[in-house]
Amino acid sequence: MLATIQYNSRKLQINLSQPLDISIPMRASKSNANAWYIEEPTIEAVKFEDDVISVAEGAAVNFNTINFNPHAHGTHTECVGHITKEVHSVNQNLKQFFFLAEVVTVAPEELDGDTVISKAQLQFALGNKKRDAIVIRTMPNTTDKLSRQYSNTNWTYLQEDAVAFLVKKGIKHLLIDLPSVDREEDGGELKAHKVFWNFNGKLRKDATITEFIYVPNNVDDGEYFLNLQIAPFENDATPSKPILYKVLD
């Protein structure tokens, strides 16, 4: 199903029948992708005294309670409320859901025992392109990202000036296949988050960071139309389902 979309001054053609889902599903399993030192999510049937509300247990319906943390248990989208005393809800601040995005693949650089994504790498990847969103795929890109246990692994992170470059480029929505854009243990500095949301100035309330995505290897680098789907939680972060559509020539 081909669709022609007027986006700013451009007409984009996309195939709505070929969505590319770059979210990681949440499962009640120890093999669920995980970070931040907490247990796996749980999905359990409600119990009323001796009754288990599950069709398998004789009930008329399945009636499950889900316990999870959006930051730790899979693909999620967060707003500036993640780092402010004042409550800011991603559901209240994200009001548009379609964006022109660039998918880029980056091989992290070594720096003082860490692996980082640098400003120079993002400059090379984006060049003069004007995009609302960037989708960063890190190398190596193996399917174990779907179940990786990230706690105490010192994952790759974005350098502060790399994020400042994205802000200067007009990037409003940053998507990455890591649990955080910042270092796992940084003493609470959160430099990348703070730069992206302009923490010490006028807050970029409509800007979002989406973490814990997975971009399969059969998705080429390049221009895409992004549908950033979120669950309507009144919270700083919510589970999300980003979908890409290749922009056709």
For the stretch 164-209, pLDDT in tens is 999 999 999 999 999 999 999 999 999 999 999 999 999 999 999 9
CATH topology of domain 2-26+70-248: Glucose Oxidase; domain 1 (3.50.30)
- What pLDDT, on the 0 to 100 scale, is given for residue 249? 74
Q: How far is CA 117 from CA 52, 102, 108, in A?
A: 49, 16, 5
**Cα–Cα distance, 36 to 198 (Å, whole number):** 24
- What pLDDT, on the 0 to 100 scale, is given for residue 8? 87
- What pLDDT, on the 0 to 100 scale, is given for residue 9? 87
Predicted confidence (pLDDT) per residue in 26-68, tens digit = 999 999 999 999 999 999 999 998 899 999 999 999 999 999 9
Residue closest to 83 by CA, chosen among 169, 166, 181, 16 = 181
Predicted confidence (pLDDT) per residue in 198-241, tens digit = 999 999 999 999 999 999 999 999 999 999 999 999 999 999 99
Angle at 12 between CA 6 and CA 14, to 5 degrees: 120
- Per the CB < 8 A criterion, the answer to whether 239 and 212 are in contact is no
Query: Domain segments of the chain: what residues?
Result: 2-26+70-248
